[in-house]
């Protein structure tokens, strides 16, 4: 794959998604440069074999210096924490919207052949129909979704106005090894961390009605490589697992893979995200995408990696100012 690219840049390559992507690129024997400020990296380490350029995507000068000469760019750097976007919307905007513009501008200036933007299912907001195809109406309700959509709009405009070969992926909630418990809000790892520490799993919303499609990071990496290699420029693709699971079913999976019944503390009064978040992934399947990791196997592997007493999640789920959060 990716035979036409020699120098590949991964923004956010020391973060959760970026680190897995960099490892896959190195396995393909690619020359990989990482642009990262190490703000969410677990230990500040990067995969051996990649070159780290410590920089902040909010600074256009720093970005231009690092992007120079990159033929393929995977833009994964972002604030991925929805709660933080509510608490500090300016930081979220500067990182996700302005930061994406800075990388696009530098990519255009250096003659980048392809730009892969990692967006988010949050751009859909509250769904109207299921499963959601890429043309589903957008009904945003958090600054995070707005900033990620702004990035998409700039990608589209750089394609239409300047011919930059952009392609966009909208991952649904991503989980897997290497998540930072201080910033990650995806339920799989949060629930596991509470459960493995003998604590109740704190479910925000209606545990039976709130459903998600959780995609394992290994499947997301497969999808991003396919987008870079095969997707038509200017297109956007959902990235999911094809499995829908409720929060109650997820706690049952956790109990099954750990051999101990999960205790649930349900915060049912907070209903902002009690809805089905389920993608139609038929479009990306036309590129050869085949999700391989089931939620059962992915949860089992993650539980084994975390061990008996992993660090507890320290963030809280907030959708609007003044909202009650987890205990």
Encode pLDDT of 198-246 as tens digits: 999 999 999 999 999 999 999 999 999 999 999 999 999 999 999 999 9
Q: Is 34 helix (H, G, I), strand (E, B) or coil?
A: strand
Please give the C-alpha separations between residue 68 and each of 33, 58, 158, 302, 320, in angstroms, as whole numbers.
Answer: 11, 16, 18, 37, 40
Position 46 confidence tier, pLDDT thresholds 50, 70, 90:
confident
Confidence (pLDDT) at 327: 77
The strand pairing partners of 132, in sequence order, are 279
Continuous segment of H or E residues that includes residue 223: helix 217-230
- Long-range Cβ contact pairs of 223-227 (< 8 A, separation 24 or more): 223/169, 223/171, 223/284, 223/289, 224/21, 224/74, 224/116, 224/118, 224/169, 225/1, 225/2, 225/24, 226/284, 226/287, 226/288, 226/289, 227/116, 227/167, 227/169, 227/284, 227/287
Spell out the domain ranges in the chain. 7-173+215-239
Q: How far apart are CA 70 and CA 106, in angstroms?
A: 10
CB of 113 within 8 A of CB of 165? yes
CA diameter of the chain: 56
pTM of the shown model:
0.98
**Cβ-based burial of 161 (10 A; exposed 0-12, middle 13-18, buried ≥19):** exposed
Handedness of CA 160, 163, 165, 166 (dihedral sign): negative
User: What amino acid positions are annotated as catalytic residues?
Assistant: 144
Residue-wise pLDDT tens digits, 242-293 = 999 999 999 999 999 999 999 999 999 999 999 999 999 999 999 999 999 9
Mean pLDDT of all residues in 131-140: 97
| Average pLDDT value for residue range 163-183 | 97
For residue 137, pLDDT over 80 is answered with yes
pLDDT greater than 90 at residue 95? yes
- Residue 313: the pLDDT is 96
Q: What is the mean pLDDT of residues 41-63?
A: 91
CA gap 107, 164 in Å, rounded: 8
Q: Give the pLDDT confidence score for residue 323 in this predicted structure.
A: 85
Mean pLDDT within 76-96: 97
Residue 84's CB: how many other CB atoms inside 10 A? 19
7-173+215-239: CATH class: alpha beta
**CA 86 to mean position of chain CA atoms:** 18
Quick: pLDDT tens for 185-194. 999 999 999 9
**Which residues are CB-neighbours of 22 under 8 A, at least 6 positions away?**
10, 13, 32, 34, 46, 47, 50
Instruction: Specify the pLDDT at position 325.
Output: 82
Q: How would residue 324 be classed by pLDDT, with cut points 50, 70 and 90? A: confident
> Distance between terminal CA atoms of the chain?
47
Instruction: Answer whether residue 322 shows pLDDT above 90.
Output: no
> What was the pLDDT predicted at 166?
98
């Amino acid at each position: 794959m990716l035979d036409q690219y020699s120098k590949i840049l991964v923004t956010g390559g020391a973060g959760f998604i970026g680190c897995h992507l960099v490892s896959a690129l190195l396995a393909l024997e690619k020359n990989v440069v990482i642009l990262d400020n190490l703000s969410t990296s677990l230990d500040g380490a990067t995969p051996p074999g990649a070159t780290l350029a410590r920089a902040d995507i909010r600074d256009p000068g720093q970005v231009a210096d690092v992007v120079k000469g990159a033929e393929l760019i995977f833009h994964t750097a972002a604030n991925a924490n929805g709660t933080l976007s509510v608490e500090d919307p300016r930081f979220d905007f500067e990182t996700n919207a302005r930061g994406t513009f800075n990388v696009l501008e530098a990519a255009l200036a250096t003659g980048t052949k392809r730009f892969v933007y990692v967006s988010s299912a949050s751009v859909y907001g509250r769904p109207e129909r299921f499963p959601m195809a890429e043309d589903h109406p957008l009904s945003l309700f958090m600054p995070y979704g707005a900033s990620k959509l702004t990035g998409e709009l700039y990608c589209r405009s750089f394609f239409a106005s300047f011919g930059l070969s952009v392609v966009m992926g909208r991952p649904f909630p991503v989980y897997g090894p290497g998540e930072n418990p201080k910033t990650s809000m995806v339920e799989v790892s949060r629930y596991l961390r509470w459960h493995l520490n003998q604590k109740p799993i704190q479910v925000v919303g209606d545990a039976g009605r709130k459903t998600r499609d959780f995609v394992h990071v290994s499947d997301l990496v497969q999808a991003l490589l396919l987008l870079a290699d095969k997707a038509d420029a200017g297109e956007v693709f959902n990235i999911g697992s094809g499995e829908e699971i409720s929060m109650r079913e997820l706690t049952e999976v956790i109990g099954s893979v750990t051999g101990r019944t999960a205790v649930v503390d349900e915060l049912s009064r907070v209903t902002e995200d009690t809805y089905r978040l389920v993608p139609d992934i038929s479009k990306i399947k036309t590129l050869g995408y085949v999700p391989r990791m089931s939620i059962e196997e992915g949860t089992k592997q993650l539980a084994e990696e975390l061990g008996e007493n992993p660090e507890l999640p320290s963030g809280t789920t907030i959708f609007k100012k003044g909202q009650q959060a987890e205990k």
